[in-house]
Amino acid sequence: MTNPDPPTSLANWPAITGASVIGITWSAPSVVGGSAIIDYRVSWDQGGSTYSVLATGITTTSYATTTTLTANNVYRFKVESRNAYGYSTTFSNEVYIRAAAIPTAP
């Protein structure tokens, strides 16, 4: 048994992403290391140069955050997959998402 490959096809989830929510989707890895995928871990960079863990224990291939976002800031996301042996040794591709501006009242 070995670590799984990272998820693939990480992308913005446009049906969810908006002024106060960012959503991402991905595909399960094809190489799971001899053990089923248990869950995923999402990390993000909030505009600096360091990723930090945003969420763990995600059992679906999508995630949305309502964490306080700054309009027009660009956030970077990566995802790892986990099996009984541990997390993938690399991340998925990165996805860059710009938080939408909240419209002002007329």
CATH code, 84: 2.60.40.10
Q: Which among 79, 86, 78, 77 is positioned nearest to 32, based on CA atoms?
A: 86
- Residues 67-95 have a mean pLDDT of 89
Q: Is the pLDDT of residue 73 over 80?
A: yes
Q: What percent of the chain has pLDDT over 70?
A: 94
Question: Average pLDDT in the 11-21 region?
Answer: 87
20 within a domain of the structure (yes/no): yes
Residue 103, in any domain of the structure = no
Domain containing 88: what range?
8-98
For residue 2, what pLDDT is reported?
93
Per-residue pLDDT tens for 24-63?
A: 999 999 999 999 999 999 999 987 778 999 999 999 999 9
For the stretch 71-81, what's the b/e string if a residue is b when 16 or more beta carbons lie within 10 angstroms of its beta carbon? Answer: eeeebbbbbbb
Reported confidence tier of residue 91, pLDDT bands at 50, 70, 90: confident
Domain assignment present for residue 84? The answer is yes
